[in-house]
Chain A
Amino acid sequence: MTKLCTDNFMMPTHHDSALHHVTGQTVFIDDMPEPAGMLHGAVYFSQWAAGRVKAFDTSKALKASGVAAIIDHNAIPGENQMGPVVADEPCLSDGTLLFRGQPLWLVAAETFEQSRQALQLFEVDVEEAPALFSIPQAVAAESFFGPARVIKRGHPDLEFDNCHHVVYGELFTGGQEHWYLETQTALCVPGEGKAMTVYASSQNPSETQAIVAEVLGVSLNKVNVIVKRMGGAFGGKETQANHVAAWAALLANHTGRPVKIRLTRDEDQLVTGKRHPFRSNWQAGFNNDGRVQALKINLFSNGGSSTDLSWAIMERAMFHADGAYYIPHFEVTGRVCKTNLPSNTAFRGFGGPQGMAVAEQVLSRVALITGLDTVEVRRRNFYSNELNTTHYGQPVERNPLEQMTNKLLLDADYTNRRIEATQYNLTHPNTRRGLGFMPVKFGISFTTSHLNQAGALVNIFKDGTVTVHHGGTEMGQGLNTKIAAVVASELGIPVRRIEVEPANTAVIPNTSATAASSGSDLNGMAVKDAVSKLRGRLASVACRLLSHSTRMIVSPSDLMFDNDSVTVEQRPEMQLPFTELVKEAYLSQISLSATGYYRTPGIWYDKDQGRGKPFHYFAFGTALAEVEVNLLTGDVKTLRADLLHDVGDSLHAAIDLGQIKGAFVQGLGWCLTEELRYDHRGNLLNFTPGTYKIPTIDDIPLVFNATLNPSGSNPGTIHGSKAVGEPPFMLALSVWLAVQDALRSIDPGKEFAFELPATHEKIVKWAKTLRENS
């Protein structure tokens, strides 16, 4: 076996774009030099949620200064379709209005300002129709996407009779705007014949390619999608980036000129999909020992106007409605509501947070009724070595939650702080402190099993430098940095000689989205596959050269790729510098280019039976948060958060910690201040950062500790690592639980239904209600 190196000069010291980021050299699409003749695209979005366009006049807009073209659905040469999974999402409305923000016309103008000024000149007369916006409205109207799905184990209905306590509950968890800093942007450059080059800010270049090809009516090989990077995505560019690309491509196709569309912040917030709001009701049976014996949960999500990824998201919510807990008799049902909102979409956690929030609400109620400590109740219900099978039949293996919880509580001094918080609350009528503990078990893999595949291409140049192509996309998460680290350590060369190239559908075809936290899992393995082919070829050359020069027989298994050279193990004098070896390989007519491929083994899921092994493995995390809540103003200060998270053998500790803290703060926003407010006509009221409030530097925990759990190597993954993008998001539910804990101090025995987010307004209302009844 060829040995790998372990030294550190292969480890990147920082994110591979950090230098360019801090110096302003980074090129996002809107920073690219604009091609000659480029037009700026704009979209006329419906201002009505439902109805029909009766009459319209675009002639004034067409005559406006700088306007080159205005097109509608009739100008689509291919299919008027941009649904990623189900073909139920028109690219441009034919006059039927399905949601506020639906695209109707496309404008191309010489300048950005002219493109937007033209929109103000449209005259549109609409006959409005009744519309549905909320889950209760949709449920009452029986407006759903498809039938309910169910995962069931045991007989909860029968088991309730055997429980000491049976309780009911409801929970609403709100949507969330992604608020990536770079708004949706695409630049399309028409080429020879029907070719179209698309510079996209997309998590899913192959799907962007497919949608653009579909609307243009051309084959996939005519469309080349290039993604250098995104200025943040978080799931918001998994399908939503296809739209701007398709619109820009239609305008480019129509005008024969390059077209760029960059949504303004307001447009982006108004028209793109968001995290799915969920409403659920549940019934739980448990005993005095705090063990939940039976649980039934009905999950309803607000899918918006088209299917998009709603079913995969609902499925993941159903897979995670067990939280970290073994529930012997468990039934979870999911329904996706069809409403007249922009179609809701992927967002970090992908239904996981919504499902897990329900489980935590159940456990909090159990603690309240049994009088047990909230952490203790959760521990008693953890999956154990014996009781380790999920409701869908997958065993939870190598589960470190018990060990992690012990370590977390000790490191964070839980017992003493619990006493201190209780004392604080006795002497502070208007500010209260609370603690929240959150365990996370998050399944890793696309639950649509065939998506778990990836490709790579690795090229070594004559000077010993390397380019790496893979199917993943960089959105800030450090995927390319991790990929470079993998290649550096596999080849034993300095990371500075490795360039990870933009995602390019002409180079790596048929890629899956960089989503489901799977970027480094899938692409890392594919890249490793390519590199091992190259290493094998280089090893053969090295064996020949070293055997020749030393008159000994050297076999590939004796070789180490380390310290920028190839060395015979135990014989440091027998060494070839890597660059020399590469040169020799070239002269020996050996290919220095190799593709790689990976598919995740052994995962499957039967949707009809609700059984399978949808996940390659689970990632785990624990968090303890403490908050101080002002009952009069609703202000929440997170005093401290301790996060202990499991990433297996980290591919890059600093990048993993950045993902953990970043996800936590994003989750904190979802739990506290990020609230989507609509009027009765389905207009999103807070579509600007002036009114939609994501966390600032002032909102992070005053004491903020994040630690990687020494869980050890994760079998069957790239270098023993675990995915990290999404799982820590749910650690932030600890903050939501802590707020509830603080409020419960008003009337500790009272059962009370909290919601998410816990905004300032809700907190003052809850505090008032709790006080009035206490």
Chain B
Amino acid sequence: MSNQNAIEFIWNHKPFTIDFESPDAPRPSTTVLQWLRGQIKGKGTKEGCGEGDCGACTVVAAWPDQQGKMGYHAVNSCLIFLPWLHGKHLITIEGLQNEGKLHHVQQAVMNLHGTQCGFCTPGIVMSLFALEKSGLKPTQKTIVEAMSGNLCRCTGYDPINTAANQVLTTPEPDLFTNREQETLALLRAIDRCPERLASSLQTWFAPRSAEHAAALLEQNPGARLLNGGTDLAIGQTKHFDIAEVIVSLDETDELKSWEETDSFWRIGSAITIESIREQWNQPIPMFEDLCHRFASKQIREKATLGGNLGTASPVGDFWPVLIALKATVTLANPTSRRELPVEDLVVGYRATSLAANELIVSVNIPKPEPGWRFGFSKISKRRQTDISTVSLAVALQTNTQQGVSQCIIVAGGMADRPKRASLAEQALLTKTLSRAVIHDTCQKLTSQFTPLTDARASAEGRSLMAFNALNEILLTLSENKPNNHD
């Protein structure tokens, strides 16, 4: 469109432009929540924690999927920067009513007494709205996955659970259904996000290619790479560590693409976890189990594999699973590419082997060969929307004599980084999965690691949990039945 330094989006059916050149413009890394709460009609969206853990700031963003069908995505507005809105329909609590009439999601929450103090309510309503739009069947799993990112301290959730069941059982067409074609047309008329957005305080790049993104990192020392951004946002809003240059991968086409060949899946590093789940028809069960326990719906709508690997947290949920699956990453710098086992990407506490001018293009997961079996366990204080205290991923191949011919055991939360349990692997190789061998393997696991005592658990507790988790996985695998730990 005309302005090269502006974003365009629709907010509650009304087209909006934010021109970052204008004198009173916010900087690009203003969160959607900050921006909304600065608007007269945007204060319905609340800040409960500012870090994506409570869902009070939940808004819905709608945009067409690859088939051109409108998809409605619940996201935490506290973790999203303004440029992400470009080309999307932002729906907030103020936009649900139709000519003064309550949306039936609002009606359900009100009638079923799903609101007490009201502070979480706008977020709850928006998550329910997105849930209804998903068209999913009203199962407990569906409801838990959609709603566990919304904390409520008053109601005990029971009426919210009932409301979720009700809106999924009897969905109704609404204002958004009626105006969907019109909205799609408006969104289609918006060009792509400019490659560069600059305010006086900050420059935002949205490069189209991995090489360009890497070149920008090289040209702008100290630039922050945004891939998902759920960590980067907290740096801006909680630690007031305002980046001067942000290189966003939201518009980097290759990083958003998905490829399946006979031998592997190539998952673009900037595809969101929810999008992976949608596109992957028959994912590896271990991967799907993990997704069910990974963060919350709102975060999965934003978080990416590249982001999860790039932050290299010792409790990064995808690390153990990807290492056990023998996944690799494709890395790009401005002029060349290389492929690296995921295992070799992490080199220390929150440290990767990525060069300053390098980024993750894709995660490549080989299709498991016959004879391989997998097990995964994530132990956390709370089942949903919690980072793991300890996690374990196991891949092993047995030969015809039931001896273990190959195995990979990876522990998360047990060291400064996700790490192979090499002593346990050695203990298991060539052995049959007897109880004695399993016990010995688990002991080798705990003898290798000296975990930390921190906000989540003590060192002693972690060792015990890791022992238990591996024990349970191996016992299940030894019984040769599907791993149903979860």
Nearest CB of chain A from residue B57's CB, rounded to whole Å: 11
Contact (A673, B382) CB under 8 Å given A15-B116, A764-B465:
yes
Per-residue contact bits, chain A 14-34, to B (CB 8 Å; 1 contact, 0 not): 110111111111111011000
Contact B49 A265 (CB under 8 A): yes
Nearest CB of chain B from residue A399's CB, rounded to whole Å: 26
CA distance A632 to B473 in the complex (A): 11
Q: Is A424 an interface residue (CB 8 A)?
A: no
Contact (A22, B117) CB under 8 Å given A662-B154, A689-B53, A698-B148:
no
Q: Is A462 an interface residue (CB 8 A)?
A: no
Nearest CB of chain A from residue B472's CB, rounded to whole Å: 5
Count contacts on B: residues with CB < 8 A to the other chain. 79
Per-residue contact bits, chain B 442-482, to A (CB 8 Å; 1 contact, 0 not): 00000000000011111011001100110110000000000
Contact B381 A265 (CB under 8 A): no
Q: Is B272 an interface residue (CB 8 A)?
A: no
Q: Is A288 an interface residue (CB 8 A)?
A: no
Contact A264 B461 (CB under 8 A): no
Q: Is A700 an interface residue (CB 8 A)?
A: yes
Q: Is B394 an interface residue (CB 8 A)?
A: no
Q: Which of A24, A475, A691 contacts B44 (CB 8 A)?
A: A24
Query: Which one of A23, A688, A704 has the highest number of Cβ atoms from chain B below 10 Å of its Cβ?
Result: A23
Q: Is A298 an interface residue (CB 8 A)?
A: no
Contact A661 B102 (CB under 8 A): no
Contact A18 B115 (CB under 8 A): yes
Contact B106 A23 (CB under 8 A): yes
CA distance A700 to B461 in the complex (A): 25
CA distance A478 to B147 in the complex (A): 24
Q: Is B338 an interface residue (CB 8 A)?
A: no
CB neighbours of A633 from chain B (8 A): 377, 379, 465, 468-469, 472, 485
Nearest CB of chain A from residue B83's CB, rounded to whole Å: 19
Instruction: Kindly report which residue of chain B lies nearest to residue A664, judged by CB atoms.
Output: B156
Mostly, the A contact residues are loop
Contact A19 B110 (CB under 8 A): yes
Contact B381 A662 (CB under 8 A): no
Contact B465 A761 (CB under 8 A): yes
CB neighbours of B381 from chain A (8 A): 673, 675, 693, 759-761
Q: Which of B107, B151, B389, B455 contacts A696 (CB 8 A)?
A: B151
Contact A476 B117 (CB under 8 A): yes
Instruction: Kindly report which residue of chain B lies nearest to residue A180, judged by CB atoms.
Output: B153
Contact (A689, B54) CB under 8 Å given A658-B155, A696-B151:
yes
Which of B1-9, B118-126, B368-376 lines the interface with chain A?
B118-126
Q: Is A697 an interface residue (CB 8 A)?
A: yes
Q: Is B43 an interface residue (CB 8 A)?
A: yes
Nearest CB of chain B from residue A407's CB, rounded to whole Å: 21
Instruction: Kindly report which residue of chain B lies nearest to residue A632, judged by CB atoms.
Output: B468
Nearest CB of chain B from residue A529's CB, rounded to whole Å: 27
Q: Is B387 an interface residue (CB 8 A)?
A: yes
CB neighbours of B468 from chain A (8 A): 631-633, 764
CB neighbours of B154 from chain A (8 A): 232, 476-477, 658, 662
User: Within B55-104, which residues are at the interface with A (CB < 8 Å)?
Assistant: 56, 92-94, 96-97, 102
Contact B115 A21 (CB under 8 A): yes
Per-residue contact bits, chain A 472-492, to B (CB 8 Å; 1 contact, 0 not): 000111100000000000000
Which of A112-120, A153-161, A382-390, A735-743 lines the interface with chain B?
A112-120
Q: Is B337 an interface residue (CB 8 A)?
A: no
Contact B117 A229 (CB under 8 A): yes
Nearest CB of chain A from residue B419's CB, rounded to whole Å: 20
Instruction: Kindly report which residue of chain B lies nearest to residue A661, judged by CB atoms.
Output: B156
Contact A696 B385 (CB under 8 A): yes
Instruction: Kindly report which residue of chain A lies nearest to residue B155, judged by CB atoms.
Output: A662
Q: Is B334 an interface residue (CB 8 A)?
A: no
Contact A231 B118 (CB under 8 A): yes
A-B contact pairs, 18 of them (CB 8 A): A22-B122, A23-B97, A31-B43, A178-B153, A181-B48, A182-B48, A232-B117, A234-B153, A655-B113, A686-B455, A689-B51, A696-B384, A698-B383, A704-B158, A760-B389, A760-B465, A761-B461, A764-B468
**Other A-B pairs, 10, CB within 8 Å; known A15-B116, A697-B157, A700-B161:** A23-B93, A181-B152, A183-B48, A633-B485, A662-B116, A675-B381, A694-B151, A696-B157, A697-B143, A699-B383
Interface, chain A (partner B; CB < 8 A): 13-15, 17-28, 30-31, 113, 116-117, 120, 178-183, 229-234, 264-266, 430, 475-478, 631-635, 654-655, 657-658, 661-666, 673, 675, 677, 685-686, 688-691, 693-700, 702, 704, 706, 759-761, 764-765, 768
